[in-house]
Structure formats: structure tokens, C-alpha cells
Structure 1
Amino acid sequence: MTKAGTTIVRRTRLSRDERRELFLDIAARIVVEHGVEALTMEGLAAEAGVSKALGYRYFTNRDDLLAALFERETRRYDQRIDERTSGLSSFDDRIRAMLETYLDTVTERGNVLTILMQARLGGGAFEQRRRERNRYVEDYFAALIHEEFGVPVPTALVASSVFLTGTLGLITAWLDRGLPRDEVTATFVELCSASLRGLASR
């Protein structure tokens, strides 16, 4: 206590890992609220209340920052997906679990992952990782489609790409139009399954 009776607040020094996570949290908030284009090293430092030089101790540049944020968000999402789909075998159950996990993530963390997945910023580490991620997800869903419905791989890849793009419409229906989450999820799963059965019967 001070002589005046007020409490002295001691600032806790953050570890390097904690500071890095704080920077990434701030970067995620900027991306959700203002878009990828608004994220700069200067803006990050200002939001964090630190010097610009401190940010460069953790990230080489804006591209490195975006790549690190993208890796963190996809890693967290994948961990949740693994937990949610453990023990599920049918296509419908797996797709529903993935969608629910995705919507949970949007609810809790904002739409940062979707924004990053859609961003196209030319060359650099972020763009390379974004493209690699999109290719990985498309291949993953195509493998599920091929295994469950017997659809040829080239056709399954087209269907996978279309369905993944369709998740953007799902987000719009849920967030922007305010449609019930259960209805949005059920409709999307039914559309996927019905169309894939049609492809399988060709």
C-alpha cells in the first residue's frame, strides 16, 4: 500500500511466448474487425502499447506475422476437429461435426480463419501456407467423398472445392441473415449428401 492508502499495481513481465501470443491475439482482432489489409506492424505495436521495434523481435515483417497467425489458427482448429470427429465413421456425421466445430470457432474467436483462408496477398510465406492449406483441405474432403460414395477422384476434387466454397454461404446465412444454426448446418449436410449420391449414381 502507498501512504495515501492506494494499492500499488505491479506489472507482470510477460515471457517471450506469452508476448508472442498476445501479439497474435491482437493481430486476430484487427483482422476480424478491419480486414487483413489493415494489419501492419505499426498498427500491431500501437494496439499492444509497445514500440514498433519490439514487434520486429517476434516477427520479421507483416507477412511473417500473418503466416504465424494462420498457422496458429489452423492448428487450433485441427486439434478441435480431431477431438470432435474421433470415433465417427459416416460421411454425414463427420461433415456435421466439422461444420459445428467451425461455427463454434467463429462464435468464440470471430471469423478470422475464414478471412485468412480467403486472403490473397501475392507471394510470401503467408500466401504459400494459405495455398498449401487449401490444397490439403480439398484433398482431405475429396478422399472422404471418394471413400464414402465411390465417386472418381477427379470428380471428388471438384465436389470438394465446390462444397468448401459453399461454407462461405453457410456463414453468410448464419451470421448475416440470422438463420438458425441447426437449420443451416442440417441443410448444408443434406445438400452435400444428396448431390454426392447423385454423382455416384451417374
Structure 2
Amino acid sequence: MRFSFSFKTEVWQNLRYKIRSLGIESLWYRSLYALLNNILDDRAKRASWIYRQMWLESSDGYGLTLWGQRYSISRFYGERDDDFRLRILQERALFKAGPTNANRKKILTYIYDTSNIRIERVYDWHYTIGGEIGEPIGSIDYARFAYRIYVYDIPSEKMTEENHKRAMKFLRAINIFGNWYEVLLHSQAGNYKDYPLYENILKKEFVFL
């Protein structure tokens, strides 16, 4: 005798019959309900997690780490989500700061944990391109400024290559064309030797005042 099996007849029709006749008491109904409920619950959790990651204020875990990468901010080992989120918000605010000396001091104070900062203008250079009014090419005034920033009394643990890179990143972010600067750091460790960070854009030797 040849064995034959029909899924539609033996399983599907029987399943539908049991569900129709027994309703929610049917074993098939409870099995399908549990399976679908588990699938939908998993989908809801995934959708909720993705939705939370769309905003920095509600993101967590790996999603928050991705937000940090967007602003080039790495998570410290063992750093909690709340602490990392606060650090991202603080540094993002620095990125949006205006190109003023007050904001430059705020950035360096935040990174190096010192308020003993002095900024001085080394020189300013004004020049004009173009002719007088009525000429084919009108005149345009340009101005360039160079600054030297001194940061004193830096704790030795803050004098790291990572902090130097962060300082340059923030200063470049709020800098505007025509402003050149160099940063000199004085650490509490050692003999307060001037530590030039930024390459002189004029390709000249550093002159320490």
C-alpha cells in the first residue's frame, strides 16, 4: 500500500475545523496565538528601539555610541549612557558656539580644566582688492588676524594627545576664514615649557612673547 499525505487535508483543514468548533480553547488556536504574539512583540521592541535612536536625548546603548561617532566623540570604557549623553550634548554645544574669544576660552576650560587662559592678538592685516567706486571692479576690504592663545596651570593628567586633538578640533570648528591662531600650553608638570600645538600657517618659526 502506497503511503500518501496531504497537508491541506490532514493538517490545514483539521486545524481550521478545530479552531471553528472549539474557538479559543483549541490547541491550534493557542499555539498560533502564542507564536504570532511572540513575533509581534519582538517586532514592536525592535521598532521601539529604532524609534528611540532617532533622537540623541532618547537613544541608548549602541545607538548612543553611533551618535557619539557622528560628532567624533568616543565613549570611555565603562561610561554610562547618561554620562556619555551629557558629554555629547556639551561638546555639541561647543561646536555651535560663535567665533569669539569667550567661546575659545570656554572650550579650552572644558578640555583642560583650567580657567587661567590668555588670548592676545599678534597682528592684524587689512588690505583692499579692487578699484574706486565707478571702476569695472569695485573695492572689497579684507582683514586677517593672528592670535596666540596661552593656557596655564593645566593638570598633568589633562596633558594628553587626545585632549590636544579635541582642542584643535573645536577651535577649527568655530574658526572663520581670516583668523589664524596657535595654542601654547603650560602644564603643572615639568618646567612650564611652551608646547606648540598648531602649525604656523605662515610657515614661519614660532615667536614666543
Same fold (TM over 0.5): no
For the pair shown, the structure with the greater C-alpha radius of gyration is 2
Report the TM range for the smaller structure's normalisation. under 0.3
Q: What TM-score, normalized to structure 1? A: 0.24
TM-score, normalised via structure 2 length: 0.23
By percentage of residues, which structure has more strand? 2
Quick check: which one's helix share is greater?
1
Q: Larger relative CO (CA 8 A, sep 6+): 1 or 2?
A: 1
